[in-house]
Amino acid sequence: MDPTAQILLTLGGILLLGLATDVLGQRTLLPRVTLMLLFGMLIGPGMLDLVPTVVADRFELIASMALLMVGFLLGGRLTRDTLRRSGREIISISVTAVIVTSFIVFLGLMLVGVPLEIAILLGCIASATAPAATVDIVMESGYKGRFADLLLAIVALDDAWGLIIFSIGLALVAALAGVDGHASPLLAALRDIGGSVILGLLIGLPAAYMTGRIRQGQPMLTEALGLVFVCGGLALWLDVSFLIASMVMGAVVTNLATHHEYPFHAIEDIEWPFMVIFFVLAGASLEFSALRDIGLIGAVYVVCRIAGKVLGAWLGGRHGRARQETRRWMGVAMLPQAGAAMGMALVATNLLPEYRQVVLSVVISTTVFFELIGPAFTRLALRHTDDS
């Protein structure tokens, strides 16, 4: 079949599939993110093998476009009003959850005899969450209460804290293993985060004042997409985090574009088709067989990561003077784990190939697990804290 025909038929089928997940999600306990991942696994190479190679090869492009929109929308949640009202809770919970999760996973793995270097790496990787899944669940649920706002703001910062602690752990493991230039992972992380912030500021500052002028107070969709894609392209070209860059840009525009009622609301109207394709193709890249290989290390990782997120969010919420229901449910809402963890695992195994088999097998299998069950727990947390 002609490649263009394959692409159009596949994308059309996936978008129609997205409508089906919406309907099923309203009638079952599973959120549509989990349903899309399951459908993706069903049509993926491990089962029916219905996704053409020409489409699968373009997954990275589709994923980048979807995550750029996610980053921008998350940045839009970091308003001055939100930070003034809940800044202490956001910072305290996000930082504490990352640190406590990493420590508990590290400690649990050490107690079952996992080598020190592997325990450090897996502990740091466990801190990562899944911004895209979290954003979609909040949008699907329709909850607009304080808990939902806090969750999105915390997830927005999670990647930055996770990257920092992972880079520290990677530098430590490299030093223990005697790898030359072991300080480079930390320096690379600082460059990545710093470069992303600078790029987001450089694009966001002029955008805040120049957009929404053609139609007074109503930024056009072309403006939104143009800025988001330019930001992503420059971030990839400069080799910095496009997710953090787009998040910073979104935060700058939201806080400085006072002539907008709601900057770039049009992004929300077109984000869903990209998210459908992203999650279905992400599901097609997962393998059920990975769950069979989870073993004792994977089981300890899963249990300790859940305990770490719940305890870390509770401790952070207590220090940040959050409400009791926020302390109780925030860690549960942060259980999804996705691409960031996989990216960290690949970086670690490229630098330290001797740990490749163990680290990748654990991260791949547990990512499948948390991708499937994590969204359900996020929706459960939102239901128990609904104050919209």
pLDDT of residue 220: 62
Q: Which residues of the chain have pLDDT under 50?
A: 182-183, 217, 388
What pTM value is reported for the model?
0.77
Contact residues for 171 (Cβ-Cβ < 8 A; gap 6+): 182, 183, 184, 185, 186
**For residue 219, what pLDDT is reported?**
53
Return d(Cα 136, Cα 161) in angstroms, integer.
Answer: 22
Domain assignment present for 7: no
Give 159-224 as a DSSP string.
HHHHHHHHHHHHHHHHHHTT-TTTTHHHHHHHHHHHHHHHHHHHHHHHHHHHTTTTTTT---HHHH
180 located within any domain: yes
Specify the CATH number for the domain of residue 136: 1.20.1530.20
Structural domain contains residue 130:
yes
User: What is residue 37's predicted lDDT score, i.e. its pLDDT?
Assistant: 78
Residue 131: predicted pLDDT: 80
- Residue in 198, 196, 224, 230 with CA at minimum distance from that of residue 210: 224
Query: For the chain, first and last CA: distance in Å?
Result: 50
DSSP, collapsed to helix, strand or coil, labels residue 319 as helix
- 21 found inside a domain: no
pLDDT value, residue 388: 45
Domain with 320, as residue range(s), is 31-283+294-384
Number of domains in the chain: 1
Domain-located, residue 16: no
Is 17 within the bounds of a domain? no
- Please give the structure tokens belonging to residue 108: 């649990």
Question: Which token pair is 383?
Answer: 């239901």
- Domain assignment of residue 18, yes or no: no
| Residue 335 placed within a domain | yes
- pLDDT digit string, tens, across residues 138-149: 877 777 778 888
